[in-house]
A and B are shown apart, each in its own frame.
Chain A
Amino acid sequence: MAANPMSQFDVYRIGPEIKVGAFDISFTNASLFMILSTVSILLIFNLGSKKNSILPNKIQLLSELSYTFVSKMISDTAGSKAKPYFAFIFSLFMFVLFCNMFGMIPYTFTVTSHIIVTFVLAAFIFIGVTVIGFIKHGFGYLKLFVPSGVPAVLLPLIVVIEIISYLSRPISLSVRLFANMMAGHTMMKVFGGFVISLGIVGGWLPLSFSVALTGLEILVAFLQAYVFAILTCIYLNDALNLHH
């Protein structure tokens, strides 16, 4: 069981089975790590915003740096119109980042390694962005699919391609995060398994790979959270500042 590199993604019930109608909403290990991530985010940022000293302490500096980092990311990619959505993108970035980082601790569960979780997030973003786009521009938002400066002959093809690429946004967004997380963790598990099976003689090579992979995965964990947030910003930018 432990040797299976996919067993780390198993979701299992913690405590009793909870059913609402036909739906099973039992508390699972995934729920546990979602709660852990959100609670640690709230704890850190609550501590970081409690005192306002001119010379910030470490936790205050951390929270303020994160704040300015995300706010700069949003204003760089989506402009000043995206300010009302700052809180959502900040929560999104922090949630994905913390879930990814919690997954890097051995024997933990990576919430974002499940397609359903990332897909719900991506679908919510997709629907939200589309709704915002139609509210802001009405049916003019459909001009998004008609790029300017394209020869009339190519236009039908381009419009089809644009629509497909727009509709595949939630899939690409969710699969990117999910696949990165799953692949990285599987690879680490596989190399960890090599260390055990090769023993004291041959285990050193996969062990060194494992060490290097851990560093890489921490980088990927941060990078994927960043990519997720920045792509959300870019989609939001399309909806807010229609420039076609």
Chain B
Amino acid sequence: MIFIIDDDEIMAECVARACDGEEVMVFANAIEAMAKITDGVMPDLVLLDVLLDGPDGFTMLNEMVSYDDTARIPVVLITSLDLVGRDLSTYGVVGVLAKDKMRPGDVRKYVRRYVGVA
């Protein structure tokens, strides 16, 4: 299961399409995504935008790393902010993709690496 969190509906749809047919859940904000995790749905991978409606991506990352179970979930940031190359591993971030430069194959690379491998 992959969580995609992006308030741009069309961008989220594009990212979902790049997920190689894996099961995805799309959320427009961090609160809905965290509520789903609280309900017991644990994603294999989170693809997270940073500038979101409501709490931003870093607020969600802070929330995730503060719990033992969610701290282990790999997160890929998909953002238009200039964060590529920054080491955000303390937030559980395994990769950063720039929205204006990424290709569907870049998303697939992470999907193949982290989804269904457990």
Whether chains A and B associate is: no
